[in-house]
Structure 1
């Protein structure tokens, strides 16, 4: 199956950048299964596909995209998505929430990226287009070293360097330059302030405050993090 078949079937047009990613095999993640990490991941990790190393991001292959679109359109689906809204998934979280192109929210030729929560009636705006979403996800990756899986400092920076090598060409030059400059930094320890005065320790190449500042400077988006109800049921 090709992206063009999904477009024809559902009457929308993918962003040119996403079509380019398809042509360059940046969406070719194979079929997930019990042996995917053992058999497929090693063939991708040195030349990462789209956001391969990003936290809580599982890229869907084209067949899985087609299946997910059909599921969201199903009138019997438990989410009961308002037919006025057209969501085109391209990835998911580990919990099953979908990263989607918000096709019916197109503005000035841009397709916003939203996160469609599966267990609550909300879609959350993440970026005004795919390019800005990629940049933001890469900033997040640089700000958050994977301590859960005990990724070493060397492996952390190596993953980022390999990711930037395959992703830079799809970003604006100034976005790629920012990421390259961050990659040259030493890893820092920082604290994230949480509600009720709590603090949480983190490690990365930039702090959460720096990340927010860079997002505002390079990919400003008035809808960022705002949510809307996607269903009128109940």
Structure 2
């Protein structure tokens, strides 16, 4: 299976950036299986593939993309997706939600990126195109060190530096410079304020407030974080 075959089969065209990522080997994550993390992952860490170290992001290989599209189009699928909506998954979360190109949401040549929730009737807008999504995800990675899995400060910086090494070419020079500047910062501990006066401890190179400000300034998108129902069933 190739990207061209997927395009032909589902009658759409991938963004030029996605095609470039494929040509550059940035989508080559191998075959997932029980030993992927032990055998394949170590071979990718020096030159990280697309968002290899991003939180809760698992890139789908091309065969998995075709399987995922077929499942979403299946009339018997439990999600009962409205045929008016066309989604092409390219990655998933650990819980099985899909990061998708929202084909039927294309506007002025821009194909939005949405997160298709598997356990609720909602698709969430993340970026107006793949280019902006990439910058958005890299900012998120810099703001959130994986303390749950005890990633050390040194590992955190090393992962980000190597990621920037393979991803900078797909960003604007201004975006790449912003990330490079953030990388030279001291790591900080900060609290994210939650509803009802609660707060959550985080650690990273920028706070959630700084992240939101950079996102709004660099990749403004009026639909960001808004959701729509993808099924009319029930």
Task: String of CA shifts for 1:10-68, please: whole Å, max 9, x gaps.
Answer: 11000000000011110000111100000000000110000000000000001100111
Distance in 1 of aligned mates of 2:105 and 2:119: 22
Where do 4+ consecutive residues of structure 1 move more than 2 Å?
Answer: none
Taking the TM superposition and a 5 Å limit, the aligned residue runs for 1:126-205 are 126-205=126-205
Distance in 2 of aligned mates of 1:109 and 1:70: 25
Root-mean-square deviation over aligned CA pairs: 0.5
Specify the alignment match of 1:213 in structure 2.
Answer: 213
Moved more, 151-160 or 189-198: 189-198
Q: How far did residue 189 of structure 1 move?
A: 1.1
Specify the alignment match of 2:112 in structure 1.
Answer: 112
Task: String of CA shifts for 1:140-167, please: whole Å, max 9, x gaps.
Answer: 0000010011010000000000000000
TM-score, normalising length: structure 1:
0.99
Distance in 2 of aligned mates of 1:105 and 1:23: 26
TM-score, normalising length: structure 2:
0.99
Distance in 1 of aligned mates of 2:77 and 2:199: 39
Q: How far did residue 172 of structure 1 move?
A: 1.2
Aligned residue-pair number: 234
Moved more, 191-200 or 15-24: 191-200
Structure 2 residues not aligned, in runs of 5+: none
Q: How far did residue 188 of structure 1 move?
A: 0.9
Specify the alignment match of 1:61 in structure 2.
Answer: 61
Structure 1 residues not aligned, in runs of 5+: none
Q: How far did residue 173 of structure 1 move?
A: 1.2
Specify the alignment match of 1:70 in structure 2.
Answer: 70
Distance in 2 of aligned mates of 1:146 and 1:46: 18
